[in-house]
């Protein structure tokens, strides 16, 4: 698994690595219950608070009730906890849009586009609008 984690850093973009690093910093208040081979309930306890938050995490297809994965297509802290505890492959849960190969292919296409500078645009001065308002309090109609 060590070889996989080493290659992991080279396969995803820096942004994805940083976001997932922030999410995976503190798992000491996490615990999970395995309800099936692909379904988990992750419980988090917040700083001595007796309230426990239960989040349902599906591993296949990937989904989490916190909504982070559905929004960003990156594993949320709950999914990262399951990945760590069950010793799963991280790359399986990261969408290909966060891969360096996708980024480099996109970057190559955008670099070939012509650059338009601000000086290329026709400049027109913005004039103050004419307001015919009389001084004083407005009269009731």
Instruction: Give me the DSSP letters along 31-44.
Output: EEEESSSSEEEEEE
Where residue 4 falls among pLDDT bands split at 50, 70, 90? Answer: very low
Residue 123 in any domain: the answer is no
Query: Could you report the per-residue pLDDT of 90-106, keeping only the tens digit for each?
Result: 888 888 888 888 888 87
pLDDT score at 122? 67
pLDDT averaged over the chain?
Answer: 78
Distance CA 52, CA 76 (A): 18
pLDDT above 70: percentage of residues in the chain? 77
Residue 37 in any domain: the answer is yes
Distance CA 27, CA 101 (A): 30
Residue 2 in any domain: the answer is no
Full-model pTM:
0.64
pLDDT at 125 over 80: no
pLDDT at 89 over 80: yes
Residue 13 in any domain: the answer is no
Residue 32 in any domain: the answer is yes
pLDDT above 90: percentage of residues in the chain? 0
The structure tokens listed for 62 are: 């990937």
φ, ψ (nearest 5 deg) of residue 82: -65, -40
Range of the domain at 68: 19-89
Distance CA 26, CA 59 (A): 21
pLDDT at 1 over 60: no
Nearest Cα residue to 77 out of 44, 39, 49: 44
Q: How many residues does the chain have?
A: 141
pLDDT score at 113? 61
Q: What is the mean pLDDT of residues 104-119?
A: 69
pLDDT score at 94? 86
Query: Could you report the per-residue pLDDT of 33-64, keeping only the tens digit for each?
Result: 888 888 888 888 766 666 678 888 988 888 88
Q: What is the mean pLDDT of residues 98-120?
A: 72
Residue 60 in any domain: the answer is yes
Per the structure, the count of domains in the chain is 1
Q: Which residues are bridge partners to 32 per DSSP?
A: 42
């Amino acid at each position: 698994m060590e070889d996989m984690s080493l290659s992991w850093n080279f396969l995803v973009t820096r942004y994805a690595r940083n976001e997932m690093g922030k999410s995976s910093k503190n798992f000491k208040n996490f615990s999970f219950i395995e309800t099936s081979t692909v379904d988990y309930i992750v419980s988090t306890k917040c700083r001595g608070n007796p309230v426990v938050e239960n989040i349902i995490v599906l591993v296949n297809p990937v989904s989490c009730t916190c909504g982070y994965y559905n929004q960003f297509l990156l594993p949320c802290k709950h999914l990262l906890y399951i990945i760590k505890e069950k010793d799963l492959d991280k790359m399986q849960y990261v969408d290909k849009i966060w891969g360096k190969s996708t980024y480099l292919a996109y970057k190559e296409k955008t670099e070939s586009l012509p650059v338009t500078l601000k000086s290329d645009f026709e400049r027109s001065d913005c004039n103050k609008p004419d307001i015919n308002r009389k001084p004083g309090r407005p009269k009731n109609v």
